[in-house]
Structure formats: C-alpha cells, structure tokens
Chains A and B, each alone.
Chain A
Amino acid sequence: SQQGEEDPQALSIQEGENATMNCSYKTSINNLQWYRQNSGRGLVHLILIRSNEREKHSGRLRVTLDTSKKSSSLLITASRAADTASYFCATDGSHAGGTSYGKLTFGQGTILTVHP
C-alpha cells in the first residue's frame, strides 16, 4: 500500500515566509521521518518523530504527528532561498513495535521553491 503521500506536490513562496508540507500514511508506524533532496542529489535526513510524540522542533523545522489521522506536517519557518529542494516524508515498514530494518517507504515529495 502507498505510504507517505505528501501535499502539496509543489509549493512556491517568497523568502521569509513559512512553508508547510503535509504527509499522510495508511498503516501503523514506529516513526515518521522527513528528508530533503536537492536536485539530482541524494537525500538528507532532517528530522524524526516517533509514534508516541506529537511535535518536535529542530532549528527552523517543526514537525507534528497525528497518529489518529495518520498524518504529519513539516513547517519551515522564515524560509530562505537555500531551502529550495524536494521534501519527502518516510515511514518505516513495520507495524508498531516490529522490526523494520529501516525499510522506509517514501512519499512522492513536495517540491519547494523559495524565491529571493
């Protein structure tokens, strides 16, 4: 089944504005992770939120998780042109408490463009 479907597919904002991306998933998870990918490059891990957490912060990043709605959001505050990239959410492949060996399932991503 599809996990980690992000919306919007593309987001265009001005520097200094906040950017919010959403992710929905279908099955139980141990954790949900967000990754960033610059064009033509590998993915870089941004932040992880566990299934028993509701909100997490890291610098200008804020992630929320609503397990009842099976959804997460990533907020980037005070965006910069350097934040331009694709952002992916990823969920582990096991049911809660199981062993996944890191088999993450990625969504289709949100392409964020920040205009200077």
Chain B
Amino acid sequence: SQTIHQWPATLVQPVGSPLSLECTVEGTSNPNLYWYRQAAGRGLQLLFYSVGIGQISSEVPQNLSASRPQDRQFILSSKKLLLSDSGFYLCAWGKGETNEKLFFGSGTQLSVL
C-alpha cells in the first residue's frame, strides 16, 4: 500500500533562517507531487507541483522553492524565512494526467517568529 511521510510535524523558526521540509512517498512510482499551504481557518493554496524528477512548476511567486531530487521525494525550501511564510504546509501525491484523488501527508505547522 502507498504511504506518504512528511516531517517535521511542527517547526518554529526565526525570521531570516533557512527552511527545508521533506516529503516522501512509498509504494508507488512516478507520482505527481504537490506542496500546498493552508492559512489558519482557510482553504489550501497550491504552491508547487511536480510531474517528474527535476520538473517543478510554481503556482505563486514567493519566497519559497521546491525540488524533486528523487522520484518519490519532494522538498520545500527557503533561504530566508519571512513572517508571512507561517502556515500549515501539506504535501500530497496523485497519479496520472487527471488525478482523481490526492493523498495528503499529515502536515507541518510552521511558525516564523
């Protein structure tokens, strides 16, 4: 069966510090991978998606970047965090050109202070 792992669960970082969130998927190959951000009490905003190794599409201009060094690994990074980067970050995977279901990780609550 497929599983998705996302860590850490919570993170408190000072403004200006770097960020690295990691997500890995097991039990499937060539998944589509996604990073979403959720502000408190709000819906999800798609940040990045990837349909293959090294292929990253950005949905919104921002202080963040993403990389996919391996087929089932997706990393969200920042060189210098801003206060506005605080939020709940969710990794998800799906299959095919028209996903009919996304599977989400358990999320990382990032607080930038």
A101-B49 in contact (CB<8A): yes
Bound complex: CA A109 to CA B36 (Å): 15
A104-B100 in contact (CB<8A): no
User: What is the total number of residues of chain B having a CB less than 8 Å from a CB of chain A?
Assistant: 30
Question: With A42-B104, A43-B90, A43-B104 given, is the CB distance from A99 to B43 under 8 Å?
Answer: no
Nearest CB to that of B36 among chain A residues? A106
Bound complex: CA A45 to CA B99 (Å): 12
- 11 A-B pairs with CB atoms under 8 Å apart are A41-B106, A43-B92, A48-B101, A99-B97, A101-B32, A101-B99, A102-B98, A102-B99, A102-B102, A106-B44, A106-B45
Where the two chains meet, the residues of A that have a C-beta atom closer than 8 Å to any C-beta of B are: 4, 30-31, 33, 35, 40-45, 48, 88, 90, 92, 94, 99-109, 111
